């Protein structure tokens, strides 16, 4: 077993939306990161690292070469600035990022052939020679983004592998990276378990893979804190605290499934000390992991994740989460609450009275988000709301064609709720969430800090959450009560409430700091719109047609 470091690592990154302009944030400044307890910064811009060397091209045109040199210059600037600020510099890359000229001969670049493995080793040798000050790489195998790559394409490394084959492939690949990068170039390899085949969520599969690879001080496994994607309602990731390798824990601060910073959403306390849904689980939090000798730190995503909006003009909520997590990592023995009040007063300029009010609002948000989006009494497809897209009921033919967890579809969830007689209990949870957001609105009116824009945004974001919950509650009432004998009056009232909630929600855009609004369409992973015409609004329109009402959306 390796020994726990005297200080936890605290990696940082900004996960820009693929294909969109980079967000503006103080967290892009390495001097800011250095003075706010971070130890490393990860360039996570979806352009990769292999793209910065001119290796493997059949036809290296002047245009391609100019792009490669510009990419290398971007990485040079990133590394130099981080080293100057006293930070480690890492670059994130999708392992299967290849020149477009290789598409016709993709099998020649396979990670599972001798020739392909030699090609990839030559690329990494060239990369590490080109960037001698680069401290390490972050490797993702489960997905590949190439939206910002005009001369390269990406492919998930484990495409078409069975679960059993994926286990062997992970062992082989991690061992190879350990040899090539850790031993061959003395570089850090952060191996993300965000892949398919069970390594991310199954303790047995994780141990089978990790136990087969000898530990190395430069090899770190990185996993999300949730047993799945960054959803509330999920257990703490059960692979954390397993096996003999160093581990870091990924935390998303601008939650892509919970409003993306447009609403109050304080998750730092729950990640550090445990959410309600992780009670009774051990380990169930970062604090629990402190007892494990291989827990080496955290990786904080201060901004980003997912696609599209809501886009925010003020990053207070994700910045608060990121700052508290980093402060805790610098002094875990002090605890989350101590870190919170230090950040609230020192970083954001709240006096003690208003810092306490902010604390109350944050704890309200922790409860309101899970009650408002999900359920603690029934299973809800968590993908019904992601990014700026609000799903709902879709026609039966569309639902029949969908994967059980297809983005934005609630048909199956609602059918099960009705069958189990849980509609009233679920709607009671939504009403409780609305009550909590009303408390937050009232509390925010008495809350001030030294920055007037921050004060204004906190108040606006609580109103945003309140009106958004109103329209969700109205839609869910209409959907869940549909087909209930004698519920016509309830449904008609809900449909009217829905229209009024939308009108009040839209009115918020008159404020200069208002985030962009959610859209009542389900997410579909197809750019550039990332939605189709089904979702919350189409379901409401169908009910209005049945009940003789006119849609006003």
Structure tokens that stand for 70 in this block: 């510009």
- Residue 2 pLDDT class (50, 70, 90 cuts): very low
Q: How far apart are CA 29 and CA 359, in angstroms?
A: 27
CA distance 341 to 166: 45
Beta carbons of 116 and 168 less than 8 angstroms apart: no
- In this prediction, residue 518 carries a pLDDT of 98
**Sign for the pseudo-dihedral over CA of 205, 207, 211, 213:** positive
Please give the pLDDT value at position 181: 97
Cα 243 from Cα 222, distance rounded (Å): 13
Q: What number is the average pLDDT over the span 249-268?
A: 98
Split at pLDDT 50, 70, 90, the class of 302 is: very high
- State the pTM of this model: 0.95
Alpha-carbon separation of residue 116 from 104, 109, 110, 482 (angstroms) = 14, 4, 5, 57
**Alpha-carbon dihedral sign for residues 433, 279, 322, 223:** negative
* pLDDT value for 113: 80
Share of the chain above pLDDT 90, in %: 78
Tokens 């004998």, residue? Answer: 485
- What is the token pair recorded at 441? 């609105």
In tens, the pLDDT along 171-189 reads 999 999 999 999 999 999 9
Dist CA 412 CA 192 (whole Å): 32
* Average pLDDT over all residues of the chain: 93
Distance separating alpha carbons of residues 325 and 9, to the nearest angstrom: 11
Residues 6+ away with beta carbon under 8 Å from 478: 491, 494, 495, 498, 540, 543
Listed range (59-63, 484-488, 494-498) with the worst mean pLDDT: 59-63
* 3-state secondary structure at position 161: coil
Q: What are phi and psi of 152, to 5 degrees?
A: -140, 165
């Amino acid at each position: 077993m390796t020994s726990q470091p005297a200080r936890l690592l605290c990696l940082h990154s900004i996960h820009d939306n693929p294909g969109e302009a980079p967000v503006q944030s103080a967290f892009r400044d390495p001097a800011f990161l250095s003075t706010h307890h971070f130890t490393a910064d990860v360039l996570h811009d979806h352009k990769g690292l292999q793209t910065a060397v001119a290796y493997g091209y059949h036809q290296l045109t002047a245009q391609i070469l100019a792009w490669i040199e510009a990419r290398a210059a971007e990485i040079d600037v990133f590394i130099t600035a981080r080293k100057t600020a006293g930070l480690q510099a890492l670059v994130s890359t999708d392992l299967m990022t290849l020149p477009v000229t290789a598409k016709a001969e993709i099998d020649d670049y396979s990670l599972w052939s001798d020739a392909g493995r030699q090609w990839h080793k030559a690329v990494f040798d060239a990369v590490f020679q080109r960037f001698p000050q680069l401290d390490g790489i972050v490797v993702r195998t489960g997905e590949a983004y190439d939206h910002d790559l005009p001369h390269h394409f990406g492919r998930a490394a484990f495409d078409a592998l069975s679960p059993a084959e994926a286990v062997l492939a992970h062992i082989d690949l991690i061992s190879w990276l350990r040899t090539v990068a850790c031993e061959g170039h003395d570089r850090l390899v952060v191996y993300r378990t965000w892949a398919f085949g069970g390594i991310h969520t199954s303790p047995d599969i994780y141990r089978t893979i990790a136990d087969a690879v000898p530990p190395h001080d430069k090899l770190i496994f990185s996993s999300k804190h949730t047993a799945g994607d960054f959803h509330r309602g999920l257990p703490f990731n059960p692979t954390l605290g397993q096996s003999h390798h160093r581990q870091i824990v990924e935390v998303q601060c601008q939650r892509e499934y919970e409003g993306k910073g447009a609403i109050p959403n304080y998750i730092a306390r729950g990640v550090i000390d445990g959410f309600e849904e992780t009670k009774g689980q051990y380990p169930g939090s970062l604090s629990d992991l402190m007892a494990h000798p291989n827990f080496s730190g955290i990786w904080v995503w201060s901004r980003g994740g997912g696609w599209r909006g809501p886009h925010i003009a003020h990053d207070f909520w994700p910045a608060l989460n990121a700052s508290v997590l980093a402060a805790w990592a610098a002094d875990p023995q002090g605890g989350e609450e101590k870190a919170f009040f230090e950040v609230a007063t020192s970083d954001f300029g709240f006096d003690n009275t208003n810092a306490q009010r902010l604390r109350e609002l944050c704890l309200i948000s922790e409860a309101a988000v899970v009650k408002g989006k999900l359920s603690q009494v029934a299973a809800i497809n968590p993908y019904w709301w992601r990014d700026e897209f609000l799903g709902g009921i879709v026609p039966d033919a569309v639902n029949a064609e969908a994967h059980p967890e297809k983005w934005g579809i609630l048909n199956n969830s609602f059918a099960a709720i009705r069958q189990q007689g849980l509609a009233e209990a679920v709607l009671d949870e939504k009403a409780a969430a609305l009550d909590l957001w009303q408390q937050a609105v009232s509390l925010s009116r008495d809350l001030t800090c030294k920055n007037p824009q921050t004060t204004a945004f906190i108040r606006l974001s609580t109103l945003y959450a309140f009106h958004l919950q109103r329209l969700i509650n109205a839609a869910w009432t209409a959907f869940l009560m549909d087909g209930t004998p004698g519920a016509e009056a309830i449904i008609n009232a809900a449909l009217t409430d829905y229209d009024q909630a939308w009108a009040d929600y839209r009115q918020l855009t008159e404020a200069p700091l208002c985030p962009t609004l959610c859209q009542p369409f389900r997410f579909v992973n197809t750019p550039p719109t990332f939605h189709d015409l089904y979702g919350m609004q189409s379901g409401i329109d169908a009910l209005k047609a049945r009940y003789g009402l006119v849609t006003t959306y």
